[in-house]
Chain A
Amino acid sequence: MRKISSVLFAIAALTAARYLITPVQAQQDAATPPPPPAYSPPLTGASPAEDTPAQREALAKWKEKAEQRTDADRKAHNATVIPSYNFHYGKGNPFTPGNVQVQGEGFLQPGAYPTAEYCGTCHQEAYSQWRQALHSNAFRTPFYRASVNILIRDKTRGIAFARHCDSCHNPIGVLGAALTEDSKVDRARFDSDGLTCMTCHSVVSLDSTNGNASIKMGVPSVIVDENGERIPGMVPFDMILRHPERHSKAVMHDFLHTPEFCAACHKANLPSPLNDYKFIRAFTAYDEWQQSKFSQRNPLTFYTADFTTCQGCHMKRNANALPDYGAKNGTFASHRWLAGNTAVPFYYGFDTQLNKTIEFLRTGNYLNVDIIALKKAGGDDLIAPLGKASYSLASNDTVEAYVVIQNKNIGHSLIPEVRDLYEAWVEFTVKDAGGNEIYHSGFLRPDGMLDPRAHSFTNRPVNDEGEFVDNHKVWTIHSVAYDNSVQAGRSVLVRYQFRLPADATGAFAVTAKVNYRHLRQSYLNNVFGKGHPAYPIVEIASRSRVLKIGDNAPEGEDPADNPDWMRWNNLGIALLDQFQYAEAVKAFTETVKLRPLYADAYINIGLTEIAWEKYESARLAIRRALILDPNSARALYYDGLLQRRAGNTEQEIADFSKVVKMFPQSRDARRELGITYYQQNDNPAALEQFEALQKIDPDDLTAHYNLSILYRRMGKSKEAAEQQAMFVDKKVDPGAPTYSLNFLRLHPEISTESIPWHMHSDLEENTGVGVAQNGK
């Protein structure tokens, strides 16, 4: 009788899970789901419930039947799908060009994954957030489909190649053999859920940090038995509620909390099996994070911060509004994964997700905008820092404004990932007291397209004809004409030039904003055709200053401004990245004046002088930094470089070794120490460093190159050949810049963006062309 009631309960529970939760098509409605089954969480520190022999026996029987059913379903599914499956890359590589793998034999039937509605019965907060988030919509959105459909329809490619994209966007489809011309798979069962709960929570191991879905998917299981063995498929809720610890063991692997888990898909490359060309890095938010101050793995960052993972920013804990048995102390790790995507919630009408995304972008203190300096035509003096300096302006003055944009608290680049589709730019205006525009850069044209001469934090991938790859045909990308993204912690200097009117009087408002649009207009036009609604534009950060004709006295500080020493420091960083070494040293020297005990200011002078090849003065600066902070890993690293140049090998090794000891995951220190040992013919020590480096960054070219030589010397010809092949595949094609030059030659309106030091101006003497007033 008990068995019958248990079965009936299971059926009732599973039926409820299927039907009682808000169906997909009504996601915009804020329907209130029914309450979850009754549950009293165990007291903190309480032992797990003890099963009776009868309960153990019942569980064992359930497990046996679940395994039999799952295996039988899998065999039947494989018998259905394999005969018509396109094994384009051979029988042994059914998921290539993606890196995803699956536990067990053959394809995994989509029905093996417990549904999101099933999980949502007890995890209502997670479900409601997930439903509006990017992960649940990873496949179905027009923005993705329009792109992947081009690949599928391409005569030289086809749906088999789309496994590269869908391994992350629709892994259930890839692993279930749906991605083939003559698919026998019912796609309505999973397409709408993209990355459902039981895709992430079924991953059993991370195979590497190579990206492109470098994970192994387990047979989905929501509970383990008393021996820790996974029980496949859905189980009655009372089974989970009796043993929440077993549920956690099945679905909550420790790696879910790590950046390496995110790296599986937030790192991507275009491999030769996809593009018939060679490895091209697509994006790697993971490496950018690893090189940022938030990872605490890189001693060379300009600033420091508390350790913060991807999850720390994108899965912040919030008080839960709906019942969720996964909540801790009334809070739940956000399953909205708030980031920059406003397009998807805008399209689906997910207003909560849209508003929270905008709030996330605006309130994170991610960027700092600083109109730091002015320069008048005909003079070399920099009026800086604005707000502190006194100066005078006259009508008809030609003025240069220096705007520093600091990527202050983003753990990756601005913009990250598919920066050929996303659009962030600086909108710079000069207006008189009446609101009349004197100058405007970064405006939107009536057709929604961005001013082509705007300073945008984007890139321009080009194909082998030198044409911009406008519609994300990534397999045609051969080069990048320019990449103006700002790496984490760095700053960029954007220069604007304008002329004050001949009859100018009074005050002028100068404003610099960083705007963000997801996605750029021409891509939206590709997706929808022209005439679609305007997609949201979010102002992430801005700063205004008032310039007066006549004398300008120092102003009060704005609390949002960086301290002056940091303003100079950021200017120095930006000048360094634009190869303006003399000016960079001057800016860093101003930092020293304001903060004479700040060792990093001296290091910044030193590293600039190393780049400038002024080694003697660099030594002085680094020595000064080491006096102030003898254990500064950053100073020791640059000292190591200087010791190498001076031939002091012992000190060079000592410096780099100390850095490696303090920062064992510093790729730069490992690389340099490896090179030092290699030059000393200490092959085992060099090998150790390069192998460690490759574990940190599997794509490091120096590691590939040196390991191929070292392995060959050791007689490991197979390993040597592998490293050599990877080096050749990953090394940038020396002919690729030609494609970029072709593009830039054809697009003079934006070609200046590829030059690190450039000026935005609408003055005819600078543009060389007659440009309509105000840049328009």
Chain B
Amino acid sequence: MANDRASLKSALRRMGPAVMGLCLLSLPAAAYGANTCPWINEATASGLLGRKAVGEVTEAAAGQPFICTFTQQDESGKRTLRVTVEIVGDSHARQGAIAQACGADVVPLRAIGNEARICAADEHKNRIGERVVGRVRDQVFTITIYTTVKDDPILTRDELKSRIYTAAEQISGNLF
């Protein structure tokens, strides 16, 4: 009996890597986490960031917006998509106030929500990004995509502009 148990253990030990491999193979190619962000899912965020990203949310608290953050990090740096949504009385004014932080390079963005503007989000050294500030009815949203990867081959400036528009269309569409 003991021998039997020992041989079973041995067999399991030998089979271990194979079983693990089979388990891994049976997992979907991109096993995304459960969707917790109401306005964009992890698969879409991953597509926008160029590689599989991980999402987390911070639910709205008093005076604080609901925040979804998707990050994709490796040794070369971090790519981030951050979404904030808040409901306010005068959403037009609030949207304008947030957009003021953009400075002078803010540009109106047509056909996103009720109204939206786009600007660069290069607040930090070694980081480039784009931001959209907009509103859908009484919901004010900000969307920021940025990268800390040096000379990022995926999120170039042009790509950032293109992808943030897509992100803005996704998010504002779900806010309608």
Which A residues fall within an 8 A CB radius of B? 23-25, 28, 76, 79-81, 83-84, 140, 142, 145-146, 149, 181-189, 191-192, 347-349, 527-529, 531-532
B157 interface residue, CB < 8 Å from A?
Answer: no
Contact between chains at B176 and A187 (CB < 8 Å): no
Contact between chains at A184 and B32 (CB < 8 Å): yes
Contact between chains at B47 and A189 (CB < 8 Å): yes
- Contacts A23-B162, A349-B110, A529-B138 given; does A182 touch B169 at CB 8 Å: no
Give 3 nearest A-B pairs by CB, closest first: A80-B28, A25-B165, A186-B47
- Contacts A80-B30, A186-B46 given; does A191 touch B111 at CB 8 Å: no
What is the bound-complex CA distance between A241 and B32, given in angstroms? 41
What is the bound-complex CA distance between A293 and B41, given in angstroms? 49
Choose from B137, B162, B172 the contact partner of A529 (Cβ within 8 Å): B137
Choose from A79, A142, A187, A348 the contact partner of B41 (Cβ within 8 Å): A187
Chain B residue numbers with a CB within 8 Å of A188 are: 44, 47-48, 166-167, 170
- Contacts A149-B176, A183-B41, A184-B28 given; does A192 touch B138 at CB 8 Å: no
Chain B residue with the shortest CB-CB distance to A192: B169
Contact between chains at B169 and A142 (CB < 8 Å): no
Choose from B29, B30, B165 the contact partner of A24 (Cβ within 8 Å): B165
A-B contact count (CB 8 A): 82
Cβ < 8 Å to A, chain B residues 43-102:
43-44, 46-48, 92
What is the bound-complex CA distance between A183 and B33, given in angstroms? 10
What is the bound-complex CA distance between A188 and B143, given in angstroms? 15
CB of B108 to closest CB in A, whole Å: 11
Chain A residue with the shortest CB-CB distance to B46: A186
Contact between chains at A192 and B111 (CB < 8 Å): no
- Which of A83, A84, A181, A187 has its CB near the most chain B CB atoms (within 10 A)? A187
Contact between chains at A184 and B166 (CB < 8 Å): no
Chain A residue numbers with a CB within 8 Å of B43 are: 183-187
Contact between chains at A527 and B35 (CB < 8 Å): no
Cβ < 8 Å to A, chain B residues 102-145:
110-111, 113-114, 136-138
Contact between chains at A140 and B44 (CB < 8 Å): no
Chain B residue numbers with a CB within 8 Å of A528 are: 114, 137
Chain A residue numbers with a CB within 8 Å of B113 are: 142
Chain B residue numbers with a CB within 8 Å of A191 are: 169-170, 173
Chain B residue with the shortest CB-CB distance to A349: B110
What is the bound-complex CA distance between A188 and B164, given in angstroms? 11
Choose from A76, A187, A527, A532 the contact partner of B170 (Cβ within 8 Å): A187
Contact between chains at A80 and B29 (CB < 8 Å): yes
CB of B24 to closest CB in A, whole Å: 12
Chain B residue numbers with a CB within 8 Å of A181 are: 35
What is the bound-complex CA distance between A80 and B113, given in angstroms? 31
Chain B residue with the shortest CB-CB distance to A28: B110
CB of A173 to closest CB in B, whole Å: 11
Contact between chains at B166 and A192 (CB < 8 Å): yes
What is the bound-complex CA distance between A550 and B92, given in angstroms? 57
Contact between chains at A140 and B173 (CB < 8 Å): yes
Chain B residue with the shortest CB-CB distance to A137: B111
Contact between chains at A146 and B35 (CB < 8 Å): no
Contact between chains at B28 and A24 (CB < 8 Å): no
Chain B residue with the shortest CB-CB distance to A142: B176
Interface 0/1 of B138-170, CB less than 8 Å to A: 100000000000000000000001100111011
